[in-house]
Every structure is written in C-alpha cells, then in structure tokens.
Structure 1
Amino acid sequence: MSDLERALQAADDGLDKSLERLFALLKIPSISTDPAYRHGCREAADWLKRDLASLGFEASLRETPGHPVVLAKQPKPGAPHVLFYGHYDVQPVDPLDKWETPPFEPRIGETGGKKVILGRGSSDDKGQVMTFVEACRAWKAATGSLPLGVTLMIEGEEECGSINLPAFLDEAKDELAADAALVCDTTMWGEGKPAITSALRGLIYEELTIRAANRDLHSGMYGGAARNPLHVLAQIVAGLHDETGRVTLAGFYDGVPETPEPIREQWRSLGLDAEAFLGPVGLSAPAGEADRMIIEQVQSRPTCDVNGMWGGYTGAGAKTVIPAEAHAKISFRLVGDQDPAAIRQTFRAYVREQLPVDCDVEFSGHKGSRAIQVPVDSPALAKTRAALRDEWGVEPITIGLGGSIPIVGDFKKTLGMDTLLAGFALDDDRIHSPNEKYDLESFRRGTRSWIRILAALAA
C-alpha cells in the first residue's frame, strides 16, 4: 500500500469515531449573531483547539473584539504549506417549531433514501471543517505525519460578517504565510458530482429603521391621519425592482460583465431548469431577471433581496397600533467590477429620496466585499481537479458560486495568495434553515477528497 492508500483506509476505518467527534462539535450552540450564545462560541473554539492539539498541531485561541479565532499550525520543512479556512459559528435556529428534531441534538437520519447527518452546522460549516480535520487525522494515523505543512484558521464570526477577521489577518499575516489557501465552505454541482468554485459574488448588507411618530399610536384615533412607517417601508422595498426583475437603483449594473457565449452554451448543456432548481423548495417560476437563464440568475448576475421586515405588534392576537418604527434587512450580491461602496451610497440616497415628510431613516451597514474571480489555470487547481476526479470517478465541474465568502478577497489582498474552493455540501442541505443536514456520503468522501488533495498539493 502507498501512503495515500493507507491514509484513505485509515479514514474509512475511523468513520464511526469521526462522526462521534463531529457530533460533539455539533452539540455546541455556537450562534455568533446572538450575544446569549457567546459562551457557546468560546466552547466550540476551545473544543477545536483541543482536538487539533491532540493531532500535534501548535494550537491556540487568538482573541478578537468578538469571538476568538482558532489558529493551529504544523509545518513540514522542505514541503509546500497550505492555509485552511473554515468557521465554527452557526446561524440562528429560528423558527424553532419547524425543526423535526432539536437543532443541537445531532443524529443520523434518512432523507430520500440516503443517510444524512442532521443538526445545525452539519453542513455550514462544522461538517465541512471536520472533513479536513479528519483528513489530517487519517494522514497522521497512517504515516505519522502530514504530507505537507498545514495551518488551520477557523473563525467564529463568519455568520455575522467576519467583522474582526480582516484586522486579525493583517496582524497575523506573517504567521499565516502559505503557498495557497483552501476553503471548503462551498457546494458540489450535485450528488456525486464534485465542483471547484472559480467565482464568488460580492456582498453588501444593510439594515434600516424608518421612524415617524414619537410613539406607537392607536389606529382608531390616528389611523388615516398619521404616517405609518410600515407603509413607507413597503413602498420603498417594492420600488427596488421593476416588472422584469431588474434592480432599479441608478448605476447598479455598472461593472456587470456579460457571460461569454461559450460559457452560456456550456451552462445550457447542464439542463438546470426551474423545475429542477426550484421544485425541491416548493417553487416553480424564476423571479430574477426575465431574460436570463436560471443558472445565470444564481451564479453570474447581481441581486437585491429583502432578508427581513418588521415593525409594530407581531405577537399573538390583535393590537391595533400604528408603529413608530419599521425595520428591514436588505442584502445585495455583486458580480464583476461592481463597487460595494458606490452601491451602498446609491441605495441610501434612494431610500432618503423616497421618504415623505415626518419620516427619517437610520442605516446600519456591515462590511461589503467585491466579487472574486479565482484563476482557473493554476497548477494547484489542476492538481485539485485530478484529486477530485480520482475520488469521485467523474470530471469536476468548474462553477461560479452565488454566495459570498469575503475572506477569499482578503487572502488575496492581505496575504497575496490565491484560494482553492472545494466543498462537499449539496444545494438541498437546508443551510440557514430548519432541519439542516449533511449527507453522510458527503462527509465520508469529503474527508477522502481532502486526503487526496493534500497528497496532490504535496507532490
């Protein structure tokens, strides 16, 4: 047996123990956006530090103004060195009543005849992180060492914007030096079809509060006369798109490239239609730009989405009030050379222009990120492609990703390194939703894939 074959065998033999470790991590409620779970975030970071230290990594927690970063390093003199990135924080679990089993009580279940790992974070991103950790464990068990140098940086604020990560990167850039960065927070094209992500959309996230009266008002006394902030907000939100699905902000499409026709032709050949993409989530008709294929709408076109709207009384029963405030959370996904700062400024100007008398607005914006294009002709990507082909028996697909991973841009800007994005989640994993799952086969073969990728990059 070769070293690679021994490592693959070690991973298969240790699958049950790997799942036990994953379940231990999944049980920790590390919700980064909610201060009530701050202790859970630190517990998850401590767990990872201890686990990585048990594998011989020099592991530590690095404090930030928010949740700590787990940093673990194991060099191999004379060999290449890679930097692996993941996150241990998870999304809130609301609405809790939609979960079929408690979100932090992980278990093996079955969906569509397949065995799956159920629980918050199973796919995004604890399950994916642990595929890499278990790959390192298998190499150590089989050969006593890793095939190349490895640094792991696992943060606890990805789900709330990675606010403190850029500063940490700048402070620790000498410690983080590597030949390439690896990120697994991505998806496959489909079941049994691995993918390498070559493009990521950028992101802007805005929160706004519109205020009118100085207190909530009785709708019987003031209705018809007093300004209702919820009505104002609804009109503003409705005006963000036209009847064809295009965003109406001035200059929004500046810097948006047209997809080359050969790539569009390749996308057509994939056969992704509305029934295949939207049917599993109970929808039937695309709502994006009417003149674009659905694969363009989710991979290569910019978007504007309302992620939440609220105000007034939302409890059980009736309470007839005109609220003093209305709130919304709105996100934009960006492509090409769209400028996050310019679009944020344009959006805020649009809102202010729509405000009637007696209303004012307050904005709270998160860090914006530009879209990312990853070089598709690098030797490291070719090696990764070959490793995935060897594991899955099919040619990996190179795709764009509709989501945003701002750290990829920071790796390039601050550390001067490109990123390989290879993940093993599926589109139906219900990330950010109740009943999140991760296919057991994704976990098993994801671990085996990383074993092969590490060997390929070490060659």
Structure 2
Amino acid sequence: MPDTTAPAALDPVLDHIDATLPEALDRLMALLRIPSISTDPAYAPDCARAADWLVAELRALGAEAAAHPTPGHPMVVGHLPGRGPRVLFYGHYDVQPVDPLDLWHRPPFEPEVQDTTAGRVIRGRGACDDKGQLMTFLTACRAWKAVNGPLPMEVVFFFEGEEESGSPSLIPFLEAHREMLGAELALICDTGLFDDRAPAIITSLRGLAGIEVTLTGADRDLHSGGFGGPAANPIRVLSKVLAGLHDDTGRVTLPGFYAGVPEVTADQLASWDALGFDAEGFLRSVGLSRPAGEDGRRVLEMLWSRPTCEINGITGGYTGAGFKTVLPSQASAKISFRLVGDQDPDAILAALRAYVEASVPEDVDVTFEDFGAAPASVMNTAHPAFAAARAALSDEWGMDAAFTGAGGSIPVAGYFQSILGMDSMLIGFGKTDDGIHSPNEKYDVESFRKGARSWARIFDRLRG
C-alpha cells in the first residue's frame, strides 16, 4: 500500500502508467467490445451494459458510483474523495453507428492494437470518440492511487450515454442533480491535439442548431412527361431556397444572422498566426486546395470564431440505380448552423423558417423538424487551473500547449456554465486522422499513453 502520509510524487506515477500500459489497454478493449450505439433502440441493452461496466470500474478505483436511469440511456455518476479542489470529469460511453459496415477492415466491435507505418493504433468504434479518451483519465486516477493513495482533488465522474444522439436526457438530469454534480471546474476529454502535434486547451466552442426542411408539392410523385412544366417541382424550389442562404462573398443572408458575432481582436489573430497552422496542408489532407467560406477570413478564424450555415443532406425524387423520369412530391434538406459569440440559436432557426416560408410558391407546403439548439461557449481562462494545465501539458509533450478555439460543438460545456455555474477545461488527445464517426476509427497508442500521463501531470499541478 502507498504511504499516504508522504508527499505525493509525480515521477513514480508516470512510471506506473508506462509499466501498466498493457493492462490499461486491456481494460479499454473490454469497454470497446460493448456496442453502445445510443441512437439505435436495438442497442439499449448494450448501452446499459457499458454503463454498468463503468460503474464497476469506478468502484474498483474506490469511488462510490451508480448508473442513474433516464428516459433514455443511463447516466453514470461516481464520487472519489480527495485532498484538494472538487472537479467534475465528463465523458460519454455511447458511440456512433458503424454504417457503412462494408468499409470497415475488421468488425467494429472486435477492437485490436495494430502496428502501422505511423505507429501502434487502437482500432475499433469508440477508440477515440470517446471511450479511449475517457479511459486516459481513469488510467491516470488508477496510477495516482496506486502510488500515492488519495487523489490531490475530489473528483465527480459523470459519464453520459446519449451524447451521440442529441443528449435528450442531459438538461433534465443536470437540473435535477445540481448539488450532486456541482464542482469548481469541469474537465472534458473529448477534443484533440492542435494540428495533430501540439497539446491544446479549448477555450471556445461554437454553438450548434439543426433543422430539416421538407417541401411538398403534388400529392404523389408524377411522370415528368405528363406534368413537367405546369406542376411545381419541390426539388427545384428547394434548390433555389438553399442557394439563397449565402451571397457571393460566402456570408449568410438570413436577417439578423450576425447579431452577437464579435470581431476577433488583432492580438488574438496574432496569437493564432503564431501557432504555425498549415492551412494549405489542412485542406490538402482531405483532397481540397482552396478555402471556401467567407472572403477575406483566415482558415483558423473561420473555424474558431465565425458562424456557418451548412447544408448537410438533400433528399428527393429517385436516387436509386439507373434513371427514372419522376417529378417528386417531396424534397428535404438538413441544415445546420455553427454559432459563435452571443448568437441566439432559437432566433436563427426562426429566421430560417421565415425565409423558407416566404420563398416557396403557393402550391408548395413547408414543414420543419428541429434537431436541437445550443449557444456558443467561451471559457474563463483567468481561472488558475488553465495556467496549471497548460504548464502540465507543455511538460509532457515537450512543446508549449496552445489555447485554441474549436470548430465543433460540445453543448455539455455550455450547459455546465448555464445550469451548474462552472467553466469547463477541454483537453483531448485525438488526431484528425482518427476517423471518429467514420469506418475504421482509431486512437494512437501514444495518444492514449501520453494522455494518461498528461492527466497525472495536471493532477500534480492542480494540487498547488
């Protein structure tokens, strides 16, 4: 047993993480084998099984833990006493569906560690998003306790099972359990390295709003030879509506869209420029060569500080093999907005509805389906934990950790601010080629190892 009266030591914890890496990977493999796909009701028993697995893992660490039922999938909450400040660690155990299955090189829930030309990787659904990242934190906790006994902080563990399906139970659960989940700071491990090389702390997140627009013309699909011309074509109407959402400079045309969007300061732009981001390489890595979006804006500026309106999918008419001269009855588009600053997601969705309704002819009906909305989040980097974590990450990775924005959206960080009254520190170790949400998802073994070591260093810094 460790001597809990002696000063806590960091180097033995780091050595313990390295020495027990095979056992930590085995634990991760066990979690990855559980097909906890939250969006498909057929996998509800597996989501419950993943929650129970995490409860057992937390109890093995000495935490009080339980799976709390919700109308959807369980929330796992654990409490581990410690000697310092109280922090909340959040992760999610649910994963994305695996379709298209035929693009996977091995069964997605039969994970393995593979040797590649770029190093060893953990292959399987959830390897990076978010099971592998979640387990870096638990691995650090296990190593610290093995070496030093109590953690240098009190930890509340909070693992969600619906993150990949819109988090329908999250807000009611937070509101009902404010006291149980309250802490000085939330730690979230669901992000990545900057430019795949440098450690980063996310200090701003874009908000997100989603909606599906469906236009209906005739009461059935029509023969284009018999009705083409006089009959309204919902696809043609929808195409015109969608094309009108942006002007020739890339700006969104909805009235009031840019209300609450701040301009980035010159100092902030200079700090981003100093990161040495390779914008051309970023686009080249996905087969592109020229920035789109708003004219005159840097790539990082567009990703981290500018709002977007994107068309995520269009359906209508005949899309099967061959050709069919159909005039469709319906056409639909899924549209999402990434939001910044003080943009109001509900106001933007209302503006979209008004624009669509004013743009369609009399014979075309419009219906909408909302898919959730959350505002942007900006973290208070004056909190001393940010400087402590930045130093810890810099020590582990041998380069200065960056304060960065994030192009994606993690709504839970905003809910922690608005409901629990605490900021979040978002630290993750994923890479852009990890293929989250895609076939053959992976997580570098080195990201897992250094992720666990990074959290141990953060523990050491947070204790003062």
With the shorter chain as reference, the TM-score category is over 0.9
Instruction: Give the direction of change, closer, same or farther, for the CA distance of 1:378–1:107 in structure 2 (3 Å limit).
Output: same
**Deviation by residue 1:7-64 (Cα, 9 ceiling, x = unmatched):** 2222111111111111221222222222232233222222212222222211111111
User: Which blocks of at least 5 consecutive residues in structure 2 are unaligned?
Assistant: 1-6
2:452 aligned to which of 447, 450, 455: 447
Match of 2:250 in 1: 245
* Letter of the structure 2 residue corresponding to residue 406 of structure 1: P
Instruction: Give the direction of change, closer, same or farther, for the CA distance of 1:453–1:117 in structure 2 (3 Å limit).
Output: same
Q: Is the 8 A contact 1:80 1:149 kept in 2?
A: yes
**Does residue 26 of structure 2 align to residue 16 of structure 1?**
no
Match of 1:408 in 2: 413
**Does residue 233 of structure 2 align to residue 234 of structure 1?**
no
SS at match of 1:383: helix
Q: Structure 1 stretch 349-358 or stretch 105-114: which is displaced more?
A: 105-114
2:280 aligned to which of 257, 275, 281: 275
Q: Structure 1 stretch 412-421 or stretch 292-301: which is displaced more?
A: 412-421
**Does residue 344 of structure 2 align to residue 339 of structure 1?**
yes
Q: Structure 1 stretch 326-335 or stretch 306-315: which is displaced more?
A: 306-315
1:366 aligned to which of 366, 371, 392: 371
**Does residue 69 of structure 2 align to residue 63 of structure 1?**
yes
* Letter of the structure 2 residue corresponding to residue 254 of structure 1: A
* Letter of the structure 2 residue corresponding to residue 267 of structure 1: W
Q: Is the 8 A contact 2:196 2:432 kept in 1?
A: no
**Deviation by residue 1:142-194 (Cα, 9 ceiling, x = unmatched):** 23332221111110111222121011001011111212110111111134410
Match of 1:456 in 2: 461
**Deviation by residue 1:368-393 (Cα, 9 ceiling, x = unmatched):** 11111111121111111111122112
Q: Structure 1 stretch 227-236 or stretch 420-429: which is displaced more?
A: 227-236
Match of 2:88 in 1: 83
User: Which blocks of at least 5 consecutive residues in structure 1 are unaligned?
Assistant: none
1:167 aligned to which of 172, 182, 186: 172
2:314 aligned to which of 293, 306, 309: 309
**Deviation by residue 1:399-454 (Cα, 9 ceiling, x = unmatched):** 11111111111112211111111111122222222222211111110011111112
**Deviation by residue 1:301-360 (Cα, 9 ceiling, x = unmatched):** 101111222123333444443332222221100111111111111011111111122211
SS at match of 1:284: coil
TM-score by length of 1: 0.95
Q: Structure 1 stretch 143-152 or stretch 197-206: which is displaced more?
A: 143-152
Match of 2:3 in 1: none
Match of 2:384 in 1: 379
Instruction: Give the direction of change, closer, same or farther, for the CA distance of 1:320–1:141 in structure 2 (3 Å limit).
Output: farther
TM-superposed deviation, 1:220:
3.9
**Does residue 186 of structure 2 align to residue 181 of structure 1?**
yes
Match of 2:4 in 1: none
Query: Separation in 1 of the partners of 2:233 and 2:283?
Result: 35
Match of 2:41 in 1: 35
Query: Separation in 1 of the partners of 2:387 and 2:437?
Result: 32
Match of 1:424 in 2: 429
Q: Is the 8 A contact 1:70 1:154 kept in 2?
A: yes
- The alignment's C-alpha RMSD in Å is 1.8
Instruction: Give the direction of change, closer, same or farther, for the CA distance of 1:215–1:195 in structure 2 (3 Å limit).
Output: same
Identical positions, percent:
55
SS at match of 1:121: coil
* Letter of the structure 2 residue corresponding to residue 56 of structure 1: G
Q: Is the 8 A contact 1:273 1:294 kept in 2?
A: no
SS at match of 1:82: strand
SS at match of 2:306: coil
Instruction: Give the direction of change, closer, same or farther, for the CA distance of 1:27–1:232 in structure 2 (3 Å limit).
Output: farther
Match of 1:295 in 2: 300
Instruction: Give the direction of change, closer, same or farther, for the CA distance of 1:72–1:2 in structure 2 (3 Å limit).
Output: closer
How many matched pairs? 458
Instruction: Give the direction of change, closer, same or farther, for the CA distance of 1:92–1:234 in structure 2 (3 Å limit).
Output: farther
Instruction: Give the direction of change, closer, same or farther, for the CA distance of 1:107–1:220 in structure 2 (3 Å limit).
Output: farther
